[in-house]
A and B are shown apart, each in its own frame.
Chain A
Amino acid sequence: MLRVIGKRIALLIPTLFGLSILLFLWVRSLPGGPATALLGEKATPEAIARVNELYGFDRPLLTQYLTYVGRLLQGDFGVSINTGRPVLEEFATRFPATLELTVVALVFAIGVGVPLGYFAARYYGRFLDHSSVVLSLIGITVPVFFLAFILKYIFAIQWGILPPDGRQDARIDATHYTQFYVLDGILTGEYDAAWDAFLHLILPGLALGTIPLAIIVRITRASVLEVQNADYVRTARAKGLMERTIRGSFILRNAMLPVVTTIGLQLGLLISGAVLTETVFAFNGIGRFLRDAIFGLDYPVLQGFIIFIAILYALINLIVDLSYSVIDPRVRVQ
């Protein structure tokens, strides 16, 4: 097991190296430059030239890349051109927000999606099945930002029962240690702050979780349908096993394998979906920050954040692969 993990992590190194080169060239091949973005209407050619010289953007690409990699190896991701803060710090303060949001979205997607898919398959061809198929189709086709907007309009503006934006009410003076606001509230005993932070997660969480929810429903349904007609299930029934055992240990467990793969893939998509959701809900996570970095051509942030996300993606995939062996003993043997 440890060898597998070690090998996978070792493989990550050349991948990240390649990625760093591609990223470096890609962000620099975009038209314009950070100086134009920073100076706006004030961007005279002289000002741009001076800024490029002072920031070192006029040096040969290879020199710039070697400096970048040299610093990267020392754990220095540089400073954001837009905000003047270290990239690592920007990521560290915002990632908890996105993670909190992703967890809520995922809990919603799995918590609702797996049972719904399972029961749709169990009552195949009946009303529940049909409605779950229709609902999941709608879920996949509705754009995230539109859904986010509608949810916000109904629950925050019309009914006023949930907050419209941000991570916490402006007037709550909460203490933050971990940047996980709900957790911070619990740790410091500021339960109203924790509750408020949680309320702020509901609408963006729902918006973000809908597409994964729809996908999970469909995969679960298809997978359960396939498994419940498998020979071994028929054999189990013939043996006279209790229906509960058949459903729990035979059908559900075997059907979960493709579902877990899907959930792993969805996690990566959730982080990219967060760009839209976080913008609509003015939610201070990495998605919103990444969007600003793209518009501002903030080279260090783009390079750094995408490398972080790549590492995350690789780790998630590793965890998913490892979880196969928990669910399916056959994988363990191999």
Chain B
Amino acid sequence: MSNRGTSVRGTGFARKRAVLTAGFSVAALLLTGCVQSEREENTGAEGESAVDSTFVFAASSDPKSLDPAFASDGESFRVSRQIFEGLVGVEPGTADPAPLLAESWETAEDGLSTVFQLKEGVTFHDGTPFDAEAVCFNFDRWYNWTGIQQAETTSYYYGSLFRGFADSPENAVYESCEANGDNEVTINLAKPFAGFIAALSLPAFAMQSPTALEEFAADEIGGTAEAPSLSEYALGHPVGTGPFKFDSWDVGQQLEISIYDDYWGDKGQITNTIFRIIDDPQARRQALEAGDIDGYDLVAPADTQSLKDAGYNITPRDPFTILYLGMNQAIPELADPQVREAIAHAIDKEALVAQTLPEGTEVATQFIPEVVDGYNEDVTTYEYDPERAKELLAEAGYPDGFEVTFNYPTNVSRPYMPTPEQVFTNLQAQLSEVGITVKPAPAAWSPDYLNQVQGTPDHGLHLLGWTGDYNDTDNFIGVFFGQEKLEFGFDNPELFAALDEARGVSDREQQTELYKDINEQIAEYNPAIPLAHPAPSLAFAPRVTSYPASPVNDEVFTDIELSE
């Protein structure tokens, strides 16, 4: 029946379009000279392998840029991890650095220079050899950025980790790069940077082909005022050494990559990957159910069980996130340590995790996940104890509790907070048990909520969190508590100084000890309550039998296993 309906409308549609079509056809023919089909069919199953080697993955948005050095968002990195490789990779399933394009490295005792031995016989997709010169080209490229290239919205990672550029060398961590022959390179730092090796595993520091960077003017992004524009390179010519090379990008629609035949490593089963852009989470799930895609990321906790029941594979990542309840000390009640302690005792984290967060989520005792250096097993914790909370409130002068604003975002799903509304409802009920009445203050995530919580002192209790980028403690607690912030509204010079000191220590072990102490210091000061380390999950069609889930999202599709 519906078929008949379709064809009737189809004819009407075609007839109406006839006039339009004629006009457009002439224009199109004139423009393109000669219209010729350039398509190739993706037949999928080839030769002896019986699997459909085309893998379709739903991305939640377009990548911001194909040039990973100018990107900091997850979708850009998901694509660039297939196309590019860095000197340093990640040990599968962990957050620890591992050799990749550099087979080994040695750091001098003062922490100021590191010698890398490079993998031999590696070429970029455009045939340019990967060697010491290419490495130096990349480092010098980052260091010499100026103007809008330095904006946090473009080169976030270089700016925040290497701290300075050639035009402001007094802040810069990087100093110089020397090629010692083809396969050995020395990177000199101006200041010790204990996280240097781990940082190099970020896609933002991947090695890009010097030839392509120059040919397609990768650094030309400052076209107009108001906003940087993407370079020709970032729009369609990314060239790395990774297993996949870039094919095409139909903006808002899909992005395609295919296997690089001369890849040095194992090529796996997949020859073509299509990233389909589906921004609505519900639509991603439906696309999977309709068989349009093979998988998607950040499954809503409520969907996990029903997808499993229907035969889909759910792959959780080890958590590398933190969700916390912030307490703004600009609010007089929250500036009282006894009140903050009372709130900590009022919250049943186990119940919160079980009721509102995805499977695999761990209860948090501090602001870094367990796999990050400096995790303190013996940190001070506040047990769930509503009676103790009431006592503390009474001692603080609030025997009948008090009223406080509770800010939370709506209509947003972050890896550390899939359903903020549910977390809020749960905490609201728990707090009211001890007499704390919350005034709900919901706001749209961007830019309202972020602005309210981070840019103004006008908020009370609030939900926020973080997804770690790599194994770096400062990337968690330094971000939260490294300086005076409107979000928390406190000034604790002792804590700020301790974090500053730890950041500058070049010895990893010594640094780890310092961070353990800092975690205890934070726990005692209790500026916010670490709630949970939510574990984001991916969902896959039944034919995807294995996926290399990584806590830091270091997932290369050559490691995917398909059964059909």
A residues with CB within 8 A of B: 30-45, 47-48, 50-51, 54-57, 67, 71, 76, 78-86, 90, 93-94, 103-104, 107-108, 111, 149, 152-153, 155-157, 160-161, 163-171, 173-178, 180, 182-183, 186-190, 193, 198-199, 202, 279-282, 284, 288-289, 292, 295-297, 299-300
Contact = CB atoms under 8 A, between A and B. Distances in A.
B337 to A, nearest CB: 25
Contacts of B54: 171
B450 A40 contact: yes
Contact of B224 (A47, A71, A163): A71
16 contacts: A42-B72, A43-B454, A45-B454, A78-B226, A107-B16, A111-B9, A165-B286, A165-B287, A167-B253, A168-B253, A170-B56, A175-B39, A177-B32, A182-B17, A202-B6, A282-B278
A288 B283 CA distance: 13
B39 A174 contact: yes
Given A54-B147, A54-B151, A84-B227, 12 more contacts: A32-B455, A36-B454, A37-B446, A37-B447, A160-B290, A160-B291, A170-B254, A171-B54, A173-B41, A177-B32, A187-B29, A193-B39
B31 interface: yes
B156 interface: yes
Nearest to B274: A170
Closest A-B pairs by Cβ, 8 of them: A32-B447, A32-B451, A284-B252, A84-B230, A47-B152, A36-B447, A37-B447, A282-B278
Contact of B276 (A39, A104, A166, A175): A166
B42 A35 contact: no
B12 A166 contact: no
Nearest to B256: A173
A15 to B, nearest CB: 24
A284 B277 CA distance: 9
Contacts, number: 235
A161 to B, nearest CB: 7
Given A111-B12, A183-B24, A42 B156 contact: yes
Contacts of B274: 170-171
Contacts of B21: 183, 186
Given A36-B450, A300-B227, A279 B280 contact: yes
B228 interface: yes
Interface string B221-251: 1011111111000110000000000000011
Interface in B282-297: 282-283, 286-287, 289-293
B415 to A, nearest CB: 11
Given A36-B454, A51-B152, A164 B253 contact: no
Contacts of A40: 446, 450
B292 A170 contact: yes
A153 B283 CA distance: 10
Contacts of A161: 2
Nearest to A100: B17
Nearest to B9: A108
Nearest to A111: B12
Nearest to B229: A79
A180 B28 CA distance: 11
B543 to A, nearest CB: 14
B447 to A, nearest CB: 3
A292 B6 CA distance: 32
A295 B464 CA distance: 18
B279 interface: yes
A55 B227 contact: yes
A38 B446 CA distance: 9
Contact of A103 (B17, B36, B283, B447): B17
A280 B152 contact: no
Interface bin, chain B: 35 or more
Given A42-B156, A81-B226, A282-B283, A32 B252 contact: no
Contact of A51 (B151, B221, B224): B151
B168 interface: no
A286 to B, nearest CB: 10
B355 to A, nearest CB: 24
A113 to B, nearest CB: 13
Interface of B: 2, 6, 9-10, 12-13, 16-17, 20-21, 24-25, 27-29, 31-32, 35-42, 44, 54, 56, 61-62, 64-65, 72, 147-148, 150-153, 156, 160, 221, 223-230, 234-235, 250-254, 274, 276-280, 282-283, 286-287, 289-293, 444-448, 450-452, 454-455, 464-466, 479, 485-486
B38 A175 contact: yes
Contacts of B152: 39, 42, 47, 50-51
A78 B38 CA distance: 33
B534 to A, nearest CB: 14
B17 A41 contact: no
A51 B153 contact: yes
Contact of B286 (A164, A180, A198, A300): A164
Q: Would you call the interface of chain B mostly helix, strand, loop, or mixed?
A: mixed
A173 B280 CA distance: 24
A190 B252 CA distance: 22
Contacts of A300: 226-227
A187 B28 contact: yes
Given A37-B450, A43-B454, A284-B253, A83 B28 contact: no
A299 B226 contact: yes
Contacts of B223: 79
A264 B506 CA distance: 69
A261 B28 CA distance: 32
A187 B292 CA distance: 26
Nearest to A90: B251
Given A36-B455, A107-B12, A93 B225 contact: no
A44 B274 CA distance: 35
**A42, A81, A161 interface centre (most CB from chain B within 10 Å):** A42
Given A79-B229, A107-B16, A108-B9, A282 B280 contact: yes
Nearest to B225: A56
A157 B466 contact: no
A45 B486 contact: yes
Task: Kindly name the residue among B13, B156, B227, B479 whose own CB sees the greatest number of chain A CB atoms within 10 A.
Answer: B227
A51 to B, nearest CB: 5
Contacts of B10: 198
A162 to B, nearest CB: 8
B234 A190 contact: no
A60 to B, nearest CB: 14
A47 B152 CA distance: 6
A48 B334 CA distance: 27
B28 A177 contact: yes
Contact of B13 (A57, A71, A103, A175): A103
Contacts of B451: 31-33, 36
Given A48-B455, A85-B229, A170 B293 contact: yes
Contacts of B9: 104, 107-108, 111, 202
Contacts of A174: 39
A80 B227 contact: yes
A39 B451 CA distance: 11
B550 to A, nearest CB: 20
Given A183-B17, A284-B252, A299-B226, A190 B486 contact: no
Contact of B292 (A50, A57, A90, A164): A164
A54 B228 CA distance: 9
A80 B230 CA distance: 10
Most buried by A among B54, B153, B277, B451: B153
A31 B31 contact: no
Nearest to B15: A107
Contacts of A289: 252
B447 A169 contact: no
